[in-house]
Amino acid sequence: MKIPFFSLKYSHAEIEQQLVKEFEHVLDSGHFILGECVEKFEKEYARFSGIGNSIGVANGLDAIKLCLESLNIGKGDEVIIPSNTYIATALAVSHAGAKPIFVEPDIGTYNIDSGKIEAAISSRTKAILPVHLYGQCCDMEPILEIARKHNLYIVEDNAQAQGAIYKGRKTGSFGDINATSFYPTKNLGALGDAGAVTTNDDGLADKVRLLRNYGSDKKYYHEIKGYNSRLDELQAALLLVKLKHLDNWNKERRGIAGLYIQLLSNTGDVILPASIADGAHVYHQYVIRTKKRDTLQEFLNKNGIGTMIHYPVPIHMQKAYSGIGYKEGDLPIAEEIAETVLSLPVYPGLKVKDIEYIVQTIKRFF
């Protein structure tokens, strides 16, 4: 069998005619920047997220950066982020002019350990930036309590968890202002780069709208120094189609994960991902851990099964952050995760027989 790590073949086949129809609609309209499709998608995504405002931007990295800049976070400030995340989280902090301060994750859920946040707070800390990694919501209640206690902002990185739920609320609705990405492989993915900011604060929403569009809300009049970071009209139209299917696609991902949990239990030294009791995981990735990760990945590849490592090098050990003051061994949990995680296929359209073959192959390896 040949099972790719990720495929859009099945989900796109389901909606292909709708996508083509929307493409033709945008083409015929002749309006390609900040038109009716962006406005409609922003309203629909805000409704989906249970929040007052959604502002479409060019990508997820820009979304985080614009969140931070809307809060006037910049040079001399510190932002607490998890040590286990994609580098975009840290890059956004750096590009805003602030310093990322890493806090270790809970090794079971892979998300930031709320019990370790307060020790990282200093007089320069301005915000906590929790990441709902791999589709799993962070334990937001204690994080919110810490933020209130220390008068800090919360900015959620919801790039991997559209539709995840924590205590009855969607992720991306807890922070003062929050970011997401619609990169093609996300649970809600565009056909190119795209992202959004969500917030209940109308003032922050208006500022992000200015920042994304050259600092302007009227052509050729510029209130602040902004950027060109607008959600493309075509991508908005395509995302509108996909948004209608997102809950069902997330349900399918949960079903696939449930099969992995059932069939992979007690297999070798494989550690399955933990889920928090008050959350509904959307399994952007299904990430196991094993000390035999590299040889298992090679074995699966030889047997036609695609896998990925998210992420093989922690941010504090990347060359780009060599001057920030961290060294190997400073963040041992992030380093252990990087050395042992392996992401298995999990996407709409994956069949039971595919999952059974993946599990059988893993068991055969062990």
Q: What is the pLDDT of residue 325?
A: 87
What one-letter code names the amino acid at 26? V
Find the radius of gyration of the CA atoms of the chain: 20
pTM above 0.75, yes or no: yes
Q: Is 163 exposed, middle or buried (0-12, 13-18, 19+ CB in 10 A)?
A: buried
Instruction: Identify the DSSP state of 135.
Output: G
Q: Report the candidate in 50, 121, 37, 108 with the shortest Cα–Cα distance to residue 80.
A: 121
Instruction: Give the amino acid at 161.
Output: A
**SS3 for 182?**
coil
DSSP E strand boundaries for 61-193: 78-82, 99-103, 125-128, 153-154, 165-166, 169-170, 178-181
Helices then strands, each counted (H, E), the chain: 11, 12
Calpha distance 168→242 (Å, rounded): 23
Listed as own residue / partner, the contacts of 291-294 with beta carbons closer than 8 Å and 24 or more positions apart are 291/340, 292/268, 292/365, 293/339, 293/340, 293/341, 293/342
- Give pLDDT, residue 18: 98
Averages of pLDDT over runs of 10 residues in the chain (366 residues) are 97 97 97 97 98 98 98 98 98 98 97 98 98 98 98 98 98 98 98 98 98 96 98 98 98 98 97 94 98 98 98 97 93 98 98 98 98
Please give the Cα distance from 244 to 181 (Å, whole number).
Answer: 17
Q: How many CB atoms lie within 10 A of CB 18?
A: 16
- Please state, for a pLDDT cut of 70, what percent of the chain lies above it: 100
Q: Which two tokens stand for residue 354?
A: 């595919």
CA–CA gap between residue 4 and residue 138 (Å, rounded): 29
Task: Give the integer Cα–Cα distance in Å for 336 and 341.
Answer: 9
Residues 54-99: tens digit of each pLDDT: 999 999 999 999 999 999 999 999 999 999 999 999 999 999 999 9
* Structure tokens belonging to residue 249: 């696609």
